[in-house]
Amino acid sequence: MAALICGSLAFDTIMRFEGRFGEHILPDQLHILNVSFLVPALRRDFGGCAGNIAYALKQLGGEPLPLAALGNDGDEYLQRMRDLGIATDHVHARSDTYTAQAMIMTDCDNNQITAFHPGAMMFAHELPVPQREDIRLAIVAPDGREAMIAHAQQLRERGVPFVFDPGQGLPMFDGAELARFIEQATWVTVNDYEGKMLCERTGWTLAEISRRVEALVVTLGAQGCEIWIDGQRSHVDAVVPDAVVDPTGCGDAWRGALLYGLERGWSLEACARLGNRLGAIKIAQRGPQNYQLAAEDLLSLNNG
């Protein structure tokens, strides 16, 4: 069975700043902000939420089915997915724009500043949710605004359970729109910051949101994650990584693990444990799609 992954495909330009952003930004001068950061380390990686989640799910042995748009520079990305065994049936390449581009700068405390050019992602709403019997569940991850709205509605109409993962796309929506997403979704995932923004915009507490879906998960980075079910909170501890190298894509790796577990009927706690462990493996590698799982890793993750 396939997991439909609605979201962006992007090229990530990842830069490493060896200092701390907070030491170079004066809080009382934000109205005239003009800062420059020296980034001696720079790399370009395959990224985007749909690509990262699909990569994680495929690494675990799942069957991701991305629904996403590439631009006229996307041939290399398309070939990479095919080489990885990721289906590209519903990845559309446009000739009139670039693939989405993310410029991500990380400081020594793993804080990040990101600039994002949407490119082909802004046309993703033209790609409908496919009518396929093998789609068991889905995720609506950050994408073009219209695409997220359309895909959530189409999944709801077709009775496909899905995860609503607003991520960095959350600021595009007002409270009423976010409430509509929650009412359509089966599960909701956010990080701590996004969770606070979601509560602020909808006027609902985390407990109230969790009563409107089967479960709400709030990832907390090095503190693990919270699972909210019917207003009740439980905590799943983080896994200590071998090294902290690059947090880019850790949340997407976590969500790939979530889809893997949900498709197999696991409890949310088991899904979260797998997500925390996969995130710890990812953070030890640079880039969102450069970690690999050996056979012993897969055995350990599935038995953990």
User: Sign of dihedral through CA atoms 193, 198, 204, 210?
Assistant: negative
Beta bridge partners of 103: 13, 115
Distance CA 72, CA 70 (A): 7
Residue 30 placed within a domain? no
Q: Indicate whether 262 belongs to any domain.
A: yes
Residue of 12, 143, 165, 252 marked catalytic: 252
Per residue in 171-223, pLDDT (tens digit) is 999 999 999 999 999 999 999 999 999 999 999 999 999 999 999 999 999 99
Q: Is residue 34 part of a domain?
A: no
What local confidence, expressed as pLDDT, does residue 304 receive?
A: 56
Amino acid at residue number 181: F
pLDDT tens-digit series, residues 221-253: 999 999 999 999 999 999 999 999 888 899 999
Q: Rounded to two decimals, what is the model's pTM?
A: 0.89
Domain-embedded: residue 31? no
Smallest CA-to-CA distance from 244 within 108, 114, 59 is with 108
Residue 6 phi, psi dihedral angles, 5° rounding: -90, 120
How would you classify residue 130: left for phi > 0, otherwise alpha for psi between -120 and 50, otherwise beta? beta
What is the token pair recorded at 273? 């444990």
Domain count, the chain: 1
Query: pLDDT category, 296, cuts 50, 70, 90?
Result: low
Mean pLDDT across 156-164: 97
Please report the pLDDT score of residue 182 as a whole number.
Answer: 98
Q: What is the pLDDT of residue 302?
A: 66
Structural domain contains residue 122: yes
As separate numbers, helices (DSSP H) first and strands (DSSP E) second, the chain gives: 9, 13
- The pLDDT of residue 295 is 56
Residue 174 among the catalytic residues: no
Which pair of tokens denotes residue 43?
């790399």
Q: Residue 149: which CATH number?
A: 3.40.1190.20
pLDDT digits (tens, 9 = 90+) for 102-158: 888 989 887 888 888 999 999 999 999 999 999 999 999 999 999 999 999 999 999
Asked whether residue 102 is assigned to any structural domain, the reply reads: yes
pLDDT value of position 298: 64
Asked whether residue 111 is assigned to any structural domain, the reply reads: yes
**Structural domain includes residue 36:** no
Number of C-alpha atoms within 13 angstroms, CB side, residue 26? 7
Amino acid at 275: G
What residues make up the domain containing 254? 2-21+41-303
